[in-house]
Amino acid sequence: MEQAARLPLLGERVPSFEAQTTHGPIKFPEDYRGKWVVLFSHPADFTPVCTTEFAAFQKRYEEFKKLNCELVGLSIDQVFSHIKWVEWIREKLGIEIKFPVIADDQGKIACMLGMIHPGKGTNTVRAVFIIDLQGIIRAILYYPQEVGRNMDEILRLVKALQLSDEKKVAVPANWPNNELIGDKVIIPPARDEKTARERLEKAKAGEIECYDWWFCYKKP
């Protein structure tokens, strides 16, 4: 197994690769051009926590698709193992996994994306890469093998990134249930004195709301 590679950074283009999946061969990210992608790794097939994660991802798959977002799984198991595991989930749990799972049995893709952390063993950790329409990495999440992910948070993160892109705003903590401003979004801080004064004038006119010139917000 190769050593873990340098971790790709936010704002960088996701590395290209070709791989075999449960849905056949893919070229990534070329085959997903024009779509958002949640690329996630799991430690191993036929393990309890990973099984709960796949069930949870599939339960939300249609919600992801409504956001023009596809799911792609990955582990260092062989494709035969993936196929049998997905079959087991369908037969035993009544859940059909409709997204592809990459068979990275040589570990090359996992190493390239920094999904293998030597201090946590030779299997992939629970990594998540959220990739936008242009193939740019917009968010990275890492969980250890012993803790499953929160798929609602991953779904929220995709929604928040798309909203930020569309409206040119920032999104507060726990959005859309922020403790200070609820479901409203934050207007980027003013970068000069003139804009700062204009912000406060707009707040007085009721066009936006502000705690101060550097903390203004509005409805999405």
Q: How many CB atoms lie within 10 A of CB 115?
A: 29
Determine the angle formed by the axes of helices 151-167 and 48-59, rounding to 10 degrees: 40
Catalytic annotation present for 216: no
Question: Which of the following is catalytic: 50, 69, 111, 216?
Answer: 50
Cβ neighbors of 102 (< 8 A, separation 6 or more) are 19, 20, 21, 26, 72, 73, 74, 75, 109
HSE toward the beta carbon, residue 177, CA cutoff 13 A: 2
Rounded to whole angstroms, how far apart are CA atoms 54 and 134?
Answer: 26
Residue given tokens 């087991």 in the structure block: 88
The DSSP 8-state label assigned to residue 8 in this structure reads P
| Catalytic positions | 50
